Amino acid sequence: MTSTTVLEPFGARLRRAMDERGPLCVGIDPHASLLEDWGLGDDVAGLERFSRTVVEALADRVAVLKPQSAFFERFGSRGIAVLEKSVEEARAAGALVVMDAKRGDIGSTMAAYAETFLHKDAPLFSDALTVSPYLGYGSLRPAVDLARQSGAGLFVLALTSNPEGAEVQHAVTGPDAGGRSVAATVLAHLAEENAGQTPLGSFGAVVGATLGDLSSYDLAIGGPLLAPGIGAQGATPADLPAVFGPVLRDVVPNVSRGVLRHGPDVAALRASAGRFAEEIRAAVEGA
């Protein structure tokens, strides 16, 4: 693959998008149950209609759209084709696309995953990719390097909203890492990646909005914090200041089912996203 296009770094593009459109990320999560709720079949035609409707409704007004790759992959090559088209159309309409694929591997395999989503000429090129550091943060180096080269970004799983995550993420590491928790070590690595980057680094963390007081963690990594958990998982925009404190302005709150349940009506999807965006903006400005 070759490309001569040079993008402005993801962090700078994200900062501008959040300032202009509001700090909201909406998931594109075509669960079988949501397809049914929308009156669509659990098939490629339903997947395509669902994705096209979300992109049409929201890509020209929200800062970030986050397709969940698994819900497209389950339909095989035809589902991937729908995902490619959704990414292309969302980016063309001005939304930044975070591919929620949570890839994590070693060596040439990690490099191949990076090229799938972070190479500028790849059909699935996205503005950022979610990745898992649990084969060791260093295993992510191919993705870090290609993201930096492409002007893309990463969101690394650090403090996730699922309760099972705590058994790994809160575990204390050995003396070589200073006895920090795994999550704290991941956050420290990200701070190093973002050092000197303005107005916002391109290497972010996934930190759940449902986790309550996180003051024991240094969330000031110089990059964005993708915050799932608002809406169906129980968190609200009003909870954000207590969770994120002084780094609140760098938070990208994610809402999926809370918005998507209002489909397939385009106006209702837009109204729901608009309400969440305003509530989030009010929480940030009032903190």
The CB density around residue 95, as the number of other CB atoms within 10 Å, is: 25
Are 22 and 280 a contacting pair, CB within 8 Å?
yes
Are 167 and 136 a contacting pair, CB within 8 Å?
no
CA–CA distance, 74 with 186 (Å, rounded to integer): 30
Smallest Cα–Cα separation from 158: which of 97, 202, 221?
Answer: 221
Are 98 and 226 a contacting pair, CB within 8 Å?
yes
DSSP string across 217-239:
S----SS-EEEEEESTTSB-GGG
How do strand 96-103 and strand 25-28 relate by DSSP bridges? unpaired
Active site residue 102: yes
CA–CA distance, 84 with 86 (Å, rounded to integer): 5
Backbone torsions φ then ψ of 15, nearest 5 degrees: -60, -45
Smallest Cα–Cα separation from 255: which of 283, 227, 225, 279?
Answer: 227
Helix (H) or strand (E) holding 266: helix 266-286
134-172 burial: b if 16+ Cβ within 10 Å, else e = eeebebbebbbebbbebbbbbbbbbbbbeeebeeebeee
Catalytic residue among 66, 85, 102, 120: 102
Answer positive or negative: Cα dihedral of 286, 62, 152, 163: positive
Q: Which residues are catalytic?
A: 102
